[in-house]
Structure 1
Amino acid sequence: MMTENGELLVEKAPVDASLDESRNRNQNEQNSFSNRSRSANIKEILVNRVPFPLIIDAILVLTVLIIFLVLHEDLVMYPQVKVGFYCQDPALSKSHNSSTIAVKHLMVSTFVLIPVFTIAVTEFFKNVSWKQKIRNFCYLYTVSVTTAMMLFIINKFTKFMFSEHRPDFFAVCRPDTNENCTAGTYVESFVCLNKDKFPRIVANEISKSFPSTHATLSVFVTIYCSYIVQGVPSSKTGFLVKHLFSVALFMWSIANSVTRITDGRHFWWDVVVGVLLGAFAAWYVLRTTSLKIMERVYCGKQCETIRKMY
């Protein structure tokens, strides 16, 4: 095309639309690549940074926690298994007394106060980084709480299977057939006349004496925490502090065990079996996980020596 002055006018091609399309296409490709990269990073984190055994452990801990909450007497009341008794049995004629150490106090001490305090103090005095302190605390506390919950579950199922009457059975239940029967005769069928005069928890637990949960949990926590506290350097706390703390723990477990007998809530064999069960659990846990626990308790210059021992 010619202008009025005779100059040749060259028409420009409509490239604006094609440039916009090209920019949009590049932007979409970049967004798609960014999304794929983000997904790949998340997958890499889940696969490489979160080991599969850790996921299995988390699922198992969660399962144990759910079972623990379901069986806890304050949340769910499972049916009471009825067993007979010998008429006017003096072993079941103890008066009903309130517990010297209540169940809620045992639970708070076993699952929170004692293990948290022991592990936190042990880690505080160790010569490791704070990141390592937190890792050690999480591991040691998880082992303690998970084992305690499993012991609680074992105790509940054992109580349910044996269904042994407590020493204050007659005082709490007051079976109707016990008043006009011949002493020493076995009574299978009865109705509790006092079931509405006591809290539902007490009435539901009247035939679940064996073994003692107080003894089991207190002994386990005592032995476990007495082992953990030995990781505190003596140069920072002194030699006797750790041993005095262990003695205090053992006195606490003895009080938990003995008062169950003096309160008339358990027979002596219930407490003995509970003590043995808690001691065996502590021995088994410390034995099977001794290397990991020793590395976290005594970690520092002694770590290499410990690894050589195993």
Structure 2
Amino acid sequence: MSLLNLNRVSKNDNSGKEEMEPCLPENKAMANAMIADQLPTPHHTIVSTGDCEKPKQNPATVSCRKFWPRSLRFTVYVDVLTTIVFFVIFVSIELGVIPQRKLGFRCKDPSISYPYTGDTITLTILLLGTYFGPLLLIIFIEIVREKSLKDIRIGVVWDHYKELLIGVSFVIMITEVAKAMLGEHRPHFFDVCRPDANEGCTEGAFIEDYTCTNKEYSSWLISDASKSFPSGHSSISVFASLFTAYVIQTRLPSAATGRLFKPFLIAVCLSWGILCSLSRIADRRHHWWDVLSGTVLGILGVIFFTTIFHQKQKNKLHRASEKSISSTMLLDVKNKTAASARV
């Protein structure tokens, strides 16, 4: 009569040789019950050897896999390569390596005759508010949820912040490509460029061939004077503010902060996007339709990325729930099997 056992079973065949059967850990409960009720036959001998022997792994290999999983290597390479390509394209457009379309203008056009006064919200302030402001808010939200700085889950913070970085990069790429392919003269174009053909021409006449004569400003600023459409400040700030507001709404518990604190934070985020956008019109750096197009681009980007991110989070929760249910059912089945085996 055959017998299941946890450890090893040795069989004596006619030749007197001993053959070892493989260990079956999943039958541990059943095997123990059967061993207690049955005696081995003359041809079977129970050999107790303790726990199942597991193949030993190189500690260095285990440590390497812990911090650099094999399954992530390819995706990491792709992410790094994509980041490099994005950076190269962005710098090439900004420095004029990828040439932009040269635009003509109407002689003495009043819409592009405003003086250049600089930026109320500079590029440095915009980048700080876009990249570091949301990160601080996400960390703050997780501290409130976990009620401790030590207990916050870095993976959750990174998941949300990574999605923000990808979305901002996506919006910047579309904005820069649109500026290079479409473009438009900024309201201060005449003041920065000082085209030679604008002097002595008939008002309203369209001029295509001209040369910028202003030596007071850098070549980058002169080139940038023809990149008004769409507004990059508007698209980036609107995306960052709306995405951060989404994180606040979905992650910050109202029970821990009160009813007014969450709407207040959301209002602060939205005010940042509105302030950045309206300052571009007040500084005569953009036309109102440039700001409107940038705002629409930022809103569309938020809708796209928050929809995808929300679905990712739902799928994670669903998989975690299925895994928990499967583990519970498997444990119940094993317990019932072991109990029936003892009876």
TM-score calculated relative to the size of structure 2: 0.68
Counterpart-to-counterpart distance in 2, 1:150 and 1:51:
28
Give the direction of change, closer, same or farther, for the CA distance of 1:255–1:45 in structure 2 (3 Å limit): same
Q: Are residue 160 (structure 1) and residue 156 (structure 2) matched? A: no
Superposed, 1:95-134 pairs within 5 Å as: 95-112=115-132, 114-127=133-146, 133-134=153-154
Counterpart-to-counterpart distance in 2, 1:94 and 1:295:
53
- Deviation, 1:60, is 4.2
Instruction: Report the counterpart of residue 23 of structure 1 in structure 2.
Output: none
Aligned-pair identity (%): 31
Q: Are residue 269 (structure 1) and residue 289 (structure 2) matched? A: yes
Instruction: Name the SS of the counterpart of 1:166 in structure 2.
Output: coil
Which residue of 80, 93, 97 corresponds with 1:62? 80
Superposed, 1:63-82 pairs within 5 Å as: 63-70=81-88, 71-72=90-91, 76-78=95-97, 79-82=99-102
Instruction: Report the counterpart of residue 239 of structure 2 in structure 1.
Output: 220
User: Which residue type is aligned with residue 62 of structure 1?
Assistant: V
The CA deviation string for residues 130-162 of structure 1, in whole angstroms up to 9 with x for no partner, is 676110011111110121112111111110001
Q: Are residue 289 (structure 1) and residue 309 (structure 2) matched? A: yes
Instruction: Report the counterpart of residue 16 of structure 2 in structure 1.
Output: none
List runs of 5+ in structure 1 lacking aligned partners.
1-35, 305-310
List runs of 5+ in structure 2 lacking aligned partners.
1-55, 322-343
Contact kept, 8 Å, 1:215 with 1:271, in 2: the verdict is yes
Counterpart-to-counterpart distance in 1, 2:117 and 2:78:
38
Q: C-alpha root-mean-square deviation of aligned residues, in Å?
A: 3.1
User: Which residue type is aligned with residue 222 of structure 1?
Assistant: S
Task: Pick 1 or 2: higher relative contact order, CA cutoff 8 A, min separation 6.
Answer: 1
Counterpart-to-counterpart distance in 1, 2:65 and 2:202:
73
Superposed, 1:85-234 pairs within 5 Å as: 85-112=105-132, 114-127=133-146, 133-194=153-214, 196-230=215-249, 231-234=251-254
Q: Are residue 84 (structure 1) and residue 104 (structure 2) matched? A: yes
User: Which residue type is aligned with residue 257 of structure 1?
Assistant: S
Superposed, 1:37-52 pairs within 5 Å as: 38=58, 41=61, 45=65, 50=69, 52=71
Instruction: Name the SS of the counterpart of 2:217 in structure 1.
Output: coil
- Deviation, 1:168, is 0.6
- Deviation, 1:57, is 4.2
TM-score calculated relative to the size of structure 1: 0.75
Give the direction of change, closer, same or farther, for the CA distance of 1:82–1:200 in structure 2 (3 Å limit): same
Aligned residues: 261
User: Which residue type is aligned with residue 246 of structure 1?
Assistant: I
Higher mean C-alpha displacement, 284-293 vs 101-110: 284-293
Counterpart-to-counterpart distance in 1, 2:302 and 2:74:
23
The CA deviation string for residues 249-298 of structure 1, in whole angstroms up to 9 with x for no partner, is 111111100110111111111111100110111111111120334689xx
Higher mean C-alpha displacement, 64-73 vs 266-275: 64-73
Instruction: Report the counterpart of residue 32 of structure 1 in structure 2.
Output: none
